[in-house]
């Protein structure tokens, strides 16, 4: 039986959660019907997102994108093709906290280890067979992670939490295709280890050798492969 004090506690908790949880939204909350993004590379003022065009000047094309039904050209080095539909490709996404993408992965090819620093990704497999995995922290050892992996088939859905390193590998003998949906208009993409090896400016070879527990000759070989 719930006592009066417990009832007040649960009610207060529910009300607090109702008002507090929206603060966890990763992108700006819209304060008007539309905020179509305007690109101005000459401006000296930067905002957290994109500035808006006059709503009276918005058109249907600001909220439209065509082409997710076909694959883009494959990156020969990786065997993957990616089509992104973010705020850059669809200005009407500005402030809406959502974007999407399509990825096509050749047989026995890997979508490299990567993270999305600003968004959680929900993938839906359209065709093919994929081995996917995410690395989660191990509270008992900060230098180790746990791998959570699963084989996905057409119609399967998998989620990669925001910021966690993950991968997708085509284990089948046919091309795999999938859609990705993000709770950010610009989730970002950081590939690993290429983003570290080929950063600008470069990380010192001594630091890379220490960080990867390799010698400088091996670091030079990694630079050659990821440059």
Q: Are 97 and 27 in contact (CB under 8 A)?
A: yes
Q: Are 116 and 189 in contact (CB under 8 A)?
A: yes
Q: Are 58 and 37 in contact (CB under 8 A)?
A: no
Q: How confident is the model at residue 18 (pLDDT cuts 50, 70, 90)?
A: very low
CA-derived radius of gyration, the chain: 22
Structural fold of domain 61-189: Jelly Rolls (2.60.120)
pLDDT at 72 over 50: yes
Give the per-residue pLDDT at 49: 80
Q: Is the sign of the CA dihedral 19, 20, 23, 25 positive or negative?
A: negative
Which of 109, 45, 34 has its CA nearest to residue 71? 109
pTM over 0.85: no
Could you list the residues known to form a binding site for Mn(2+), using ranges. 114, 116, 121, 166
In this predicted model, what pLDDT tens digit does every residue of 116-142 receive, in sequence order? Answer: 999 999 999 999 999 999 999 999 999
Give the per-residue pLDDT at 22: 47
Mean predicted lDDT score pLDDT of the chain: 88
Could you list the residues known to form a binding site for oxalate, using ranges. 116, 121
In this predicted model, what pLDDT tens digit does every residue of 80-123 receive, in sequence order? Answer: 999 999 999 999 999 999 999 999 999 999 999 999 999 999 99
* Residue listed under structure tokens 């090896």: 197
Q: Is the sign of the CA dihedral 199, 204, 207, 213 positive or negative?
A: positive
pLDDT at 61 over 90: yes
Exposure on the CB side of residue 200, measured as CA atoms within 13 A: 1
Q: What are the residue boundaries of the structural domains of the chain, listed by start? A: 61-189, 197-226
């Amino acid at each position: 039986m719930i006592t009066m004090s417990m009832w007040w506690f649960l009610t207060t908790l529910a009300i607090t959660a109702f008002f507090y949880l929206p603060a966890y939204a990763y992108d700006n909350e819209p304060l008007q019907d539309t905020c179509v993004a305007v690109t101005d590379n000459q401006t000296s003022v930067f905002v957290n997102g994109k500035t808006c065009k006059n709503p009276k000047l918005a058109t249907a094309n600001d909220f439209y994108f065509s082409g997710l039904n076909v694959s883009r050209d494959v990156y020969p080095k990786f065997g993957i093709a990616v089509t992104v539909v973010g705020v850059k490709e669809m200005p009407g996404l500005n402030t809406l906290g959502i974007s999407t993408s399509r990825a096509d992965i050749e047989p026995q090819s890997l979508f490299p280890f990567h993270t999305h620093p600003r968004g959680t990704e929900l993938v839906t497999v359209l065709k093919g067979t994929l081995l996917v995995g995410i690395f989660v922290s191990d509270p008992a050892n900060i230098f180790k992670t746990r791998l959570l992996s699963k084989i996905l088939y057409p119609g399967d859905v998998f989620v990669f939490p925001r910021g966690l390193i993950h991968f997708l590998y085509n284990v089948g003998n046919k091309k795999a295709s999938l859609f990705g949906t993000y709770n950010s208009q610009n989730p970002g993409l950081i590939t690993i280890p290429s983003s570290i090896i080929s950063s600008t400016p470069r990380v010192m070879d001594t630091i890379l050798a220490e960080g990867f527990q390799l010698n400088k000759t091996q670091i030079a070989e990694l630079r050659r492969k990821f440059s």
